[in-house]
């Protein structure tokens, strides 16, 4: 089953997508914006990761694509807690040119609809670096709330960065959709 936004489609990762994913992992500009430890990723490592993770029911990853641009990024649910109905969400867009077209907003809205309406999750967690204004604008626009700050939490480029913890509840999503008639 593909997940449809207004103009994005979120679909399962195929072997053909591994090169795009590897390019995103190896792109210093993208890596500087995301949380985690960065190592160069080889084709072999990317294939091994795929083989080890493709059948996980607690970590769901989707390729973001548009009719015009094809595959352009990755959207994720990780650490899904089925008992407590929550997951961690992240997004990466590979092509800087598509980051200004509303693709991020449509992706996050489609992810939330799938999480809250199909999977019956109640909460999504996320985070961004304090100076990542693009993520801050994206998630705020999509109704996410700042819930705290982890001081000097992530070490990147020779310095520590604060991490902003955010979350969205099903009720936040329902309110946003009703107020903005997003899917109407």
For the chain, the domains span 3-180
Beta strands in 34-144 (DSSP E): 60-66, 70-81, 86-93, 123-129
CA–CA dist 134, 117 (Å, integer) = 26
Closest CA to 132 of 105, 111, 162: 162
Beta-strand pair 86-93/123-129: parallel
Residue indicated by tokens 């997940």: 3
Whole-model pTM: value is 0.92
pLDDT digits (tens, 9 = 90+) for 7-53: 999 999 999 999 999 998 898 888 777 776 678 999 999 999 999 99
What is the distance between the alpha carbons of residues 54 and 61, in angstroms, rounded to a whole number?
A: 8
Q: How far apart are CA 83 and CA 16, in angstroms?
A: 34
pLDDT 10s digits, 43-80: 999 999 999 999 999 999 999 999 988 999 999 999 99
- CATH 3.40.50.720 matches 3-180: no
């Amino acid at each position: 089953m593909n997940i449809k936004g207004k103009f994005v489609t979120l679909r399962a990762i195929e072997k053909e997508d591994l090169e795009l994913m590897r390019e995103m992992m190896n792109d210093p500009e993208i890596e500087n914006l995301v949380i985690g430890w960065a190592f160069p990723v080889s084709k072999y490592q990317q294939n091994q990761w795929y083989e080890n993770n493709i059948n996980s029911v607690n970590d769901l990853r989707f390729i973001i694509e548009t009719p015009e641009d094809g595959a352009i990024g990755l959207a994720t649910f990780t650490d899904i807690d089925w008992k407590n109905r929550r997951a961690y969400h992240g997004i990466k867009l590979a092509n800087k040119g598509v980051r200004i077209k509303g693709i991020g907003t449509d992706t996050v809205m489609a992810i939330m609809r799938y999480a809250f309406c199909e999977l019956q999750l109640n909460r999504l967690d996320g985070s961004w670096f304090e100076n990542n204004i693009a993520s801050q604008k994206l998630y705020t626009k999509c109704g996410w709330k700042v819930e705290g700050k982890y001081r000097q939490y992530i070490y990147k480029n020779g310095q520590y960065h604060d991490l902003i913890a955010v979350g969205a509840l099903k009720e936040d999503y329902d309110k946003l959709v009703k107020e903005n008639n997003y899917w109407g």
